[in-house]
A and B are shown apart, each in its own frame.
Chain A
């Protein structure tokens, strides 16, 4: 069993980060992990945004309930009640709280379903990025020599790539011609975000590993005959948990925006699946008719989500390492 808290204690920065008052109150073994959580709980902005995030998660989970309460299915088109006689979307009223879209569908219900896509893609793509980046960064940093040279060059290349251009190219090819498990829609979006994103994590992990592997306890483990994999994952990895958690919370909103942007460009989630980026992109054909609700409500949903995640991410960073400059 890996004790994450004990591993964290070896990151020197934490020694100075603990507020003196806290230590003086009661002499009690407090792991840096617990200190960070305590610090986070005192951060009002972070806690409020965590509340907002939980609310969005609840909305996503209970989207079918929202559909049932309103009586409007997510794909259901209300051609008589939901569209004007000339086929224009209808503004917010008592039946359609957020109005309808160009096909007479309830925008409120579609926003609730859209939350599912945003959260799933944001979390999955972040997991792919962080796990992939950590493993490759660990390997590059620990083994060094030729492996490091190849992996580090590859990461440099990935970071210099015009990401959006390549992503659009790849997704549009997959849309015509699926490659193995890469199907159009959610799978390829997660793949593209993860594959072009891991290098940033990999570079941070590699840099940290380069310094940690020279530490005495790593040398001790090696002297005891520990295998490379054991040293990498049991002796070195726990030291990286703090920066990785911070990076993870800030990657999620970035990927939510990334997914919405791909969908906006027509190479993300495919219609008729409810998706915020796709809804905004559709509404763009209509703003010239003054149908503001069609644009404003999905935009607000997207903005509130990314804002909540970013504020929470800032709070997590401050809590784990008040002086970290990882993201400068």
Chain B
């Protein structure tokens, strides 16, 4: 177990290192440093001032010198400084992360509940009207691009209701910290949650239905039934548990990717989370911020994979970690 963990963590660190290197190289293919110094110095600046700015930010050095500097700072837990705001990247990320986290946690709870429950109903009552309805809805939302759903919800629920004098939903972009007012927190995030959840839930409906139908055919389910076990118990204890493995895998992957920023949902709702911050930083060629978000995003994916692998052993005793 310990060896497995150490190997996976080392592999994860290696992948993160590759990521930072890739982003650095992409940045230096383009006119990154020159463009940044030029913008920072302002319209009126003489070439000397531009050079001075570039020099102070190390932007006139070769990329590997800058990369070395970045790594040495990183080893001290410092992600460097945002070129434009002059703030430390640590604090930029510390401000954006709670927003992304709130968005993902809320949406994940909703989509897991919707997806798994609808998939269970579909599998238990195959070919019923419920099964058909859920299968159709899953197909619809599976095909729905996130930003399309987001805007349609904004138009249909936020705009139309607000115009008719029923401002049920919060303005896009609003965010209240959970710790200052949990109710306002949930109220502000309902539409982003719904958007992300509906789009994601479709996959879980299909996954749960398929996996449970497979398990229903297993011998041990027949055994459980033939010894007189109640159907409800068979479904929850035996079928669902065995069907949980693919669901957990998918859940781990999805949450892992989104922790690094739900880029599209955040952009639709103007939520200044990690994804939104990263997109803006990329447009401004603000490398330190981009690198910072990339590191968090990779860490999210790697950590989620690790947790999924450990969970396997808990859910399915047949799996042992080596």
B139 near A310 (CB under 8 angstroms)? yes
Q: Closest CB-CB distance, A267 to chain B, in whole Å?
A: 8
> Which of B31, B152, B211 is A177 in contact with, Cβ under 8 Å?
B31
Residues of A near B18 (CB, < 8 A) are 157
Residues of A near B297 (CB, < 8 A) are 162, 165
For residue B263, CB closer than 8 A to chain A, the reply is yes
For residue B257, CB closer than 8 A to chain A, the reply is yes
Say which one of B62-70, B140-148, B221-229 lies at the interface with A: B140-148
B151 near A284 (CB under 8 angstroms)? yes
Say which one of B20-28, B46-54, B92-100 lies at the interface with A: B20-28
Say which one of B112-120, B183-191, B277-285 lies at the interface with A: B277-285
Say which one of A20-28, A87-95, A167-175 lies at the interface with B: A167-175
> Which of A165, A179, A260, A290 is B163 in contact with, Cβ under 8 Å?
A290
> Which of B144, B263, B301 is A160 in contact with, Cβ under 8 Å?
B301
B151 near A177 (CB under 8 angstroms)? no
Residues of A near B145 (CB, < 8 A) are 257, 260-261, 302-303, 306
For residue A150, CB closer than 8 A to chain B, the reply is no
A166 near B22 (CB under 8 angstroms)? yes
For residue B207, CB closer than 8 A to chain A, the reply is yes
CA distance A310 to B202 in the complex (A): 13
Mask, A312-328, CB within 8 Å of B = 1, is: 00100000000001001
CA distance A168 to B278 in the complex (A): 9
Residues of A near B294 (CB, < 8 A) are 162, 165-166
Mask, B238-272, CB within 8 Å of A = 1, is: 00000000100000000001001101100110000
Residues of B near A302 (CB, < 8 A) are 145, 148
Residues of A near B139 (CB, < 8 A) are 307, 310-311, 314
Query: Are A287 and B155 also in contact (CB < 8 A) when A162-B297, A173-B26, A328-B246 are?
Result: yes
For residue A299, CB closer than 8 A to chain B, the reply is yes
Residue count of chain A within 8 Å CB distance of chain B: 46
Residues of B near A253 (CB, < 8 A) are 143
For residue A58, CB closer than 8 A to chain B, the reply is no
Closest partner residue, chain B, to A283 (CB atom): B151
Q: Closest CB-CB distance, B142 to chain A, in whole Å?
A: 6
> Which of B146, B261, B290 is A169 in contact with, Cβ under 8 Å?
B290
For residue B305, CB closer than 8 A to chain A, the reply is yes
Closest partner residue, chain B, to A323 (CB atom): B214
> Which of A162, A177, A257, A325 is B260 in contact with, Cβ under 8 Å?
A162
B257 near A162 (CB under 8 angstroms)? yes
A160 near B298 (CB under 8 angstroms)? yes
For residue A246, CB closer than 8 A to chain B, the reply is no
B143 near A176 (CB under 8 angstroms)? no
B148 near A265 (CB under 8 angstroms)? no
Residues of B near A303 (CB, < 8 A) are 143-145, 148
Q: Which residues of B from 291 to 313 have beta carbons under 8 Å from A?
A: 293-294, 297-298, 301-302, 305
CA distance A307 to B143 in the complex (A): 5
Residues of A near B278 (CB, < 8 A) are 165, 168
For residue B15, CB closer than 8 A to chain A, the reply is yes
Mask, A246-263, CB within 8 Å of B = 1, is: 000000010001001100
For residue A55, CB closer than 8 A to chain B, the reply is no
A264 near B142 (CB under 8 angstroms)? no
B267 near A287 (CB under 8 angstroms)? no
Give the B-binding residues of A (Cβ under 8 A).
156-157, 160-162, 164-166, 168-170, 172-174, 176-177, 179, 253, 257, 260-261, 264-266, 277, 280-281, 283-284, 287-288, 290, 292, 295-296, 299, 302-303, 306-307, 309-311, 314, 325, 328
- Could you list 5 further interchain pairs (A-B, Cβ under 8 angstroms) beyond the known A165-B260, A295-B155? A164-B275, A165-B282, A253-B143, A260-B145, A303-B145
List the 7 closest pairs (A to B, CB-CB), nearest first. A173-B30, A162-B297, A306-B143, A177-B30, A307-B143, A299-B148, A257-B145
Q: List 6 A-B contacts (CB under 8 A).
A: A160-B15, A177-B29, A260-B147, A264-B264, A265-B267, A307-B140
